[in-house]
Amino acid sequence: MKFVSALLTVLMAASVSMAESKVGYVDVQKAIQATAAGKKAKESLDGEYQKRKTQLDKKKADIEKMGQDLEKKKSVLSEEVLGKKQMELQEEMMRFQKTVGENQLEIQKKEEELVKPILNKMKGVIEKVAKEKGFSLVLENKTQSVLFASKEVDLTDDVVKAFEKEK
């Protein structure tokens, strides 16, 4: 009987403690994109992406032209020359695919480099805003596991404002 009484006391204390807790969330991606630093990083990343895309589009067009030229000349080329040209085309296509993959990795790395300092600062700002507003727990985004969240627990706009003030 003492055990049940002690257990009830602990459960009641825990429920009182939980009733006093405030839980909020921040859409971190949205917050980063809404800050001046985030917009600057996105512009830089978009510029780099467009530059690389232009280069890759040109290379892709060159390879497609090689393929079309080979298709046109196919009937007049000897078996040996045709095989050699097809091999060259395949090698060019493989190099192109490798370059595309390398470019994707480099863009991801650049994004990480640009966003990491913003995210680190954002975490500090989130903690500050949460403490000021009396939140004991702040989640990242409204995830699928959260079935309902009222607008009052969304700290995203407050975090963006605080982030911009900290310059």
Q: pLDDT by residue (tens digit) across 74-116? A: 888 889 988 999 999 999 999 999 999 999 999 999 999 999 9
pLDDT at 6 over 90: no
Q: Which long-range contacts (CB under 8 A, 24 or more apart) does 114-117 make?
A: 114/41, 114/44, 114/45, 115/32, 115/38, 115/41
pLDDT level of residue 156 (50, 70, 90 thresholds)? confident
Tell me, what's the pLDDT at 39?
95
For residues 137, 143, 148 and 149, what is the CA-based torsion angle, rounded to 10 degrees?
A: 40
How large a percentage of the chain has pLDDT more than 90?
Answer: 49
Q: pLDDT by residue (tens digit) across 124-155? A: 998 899 889 888 888 887 765 565 667 777 88
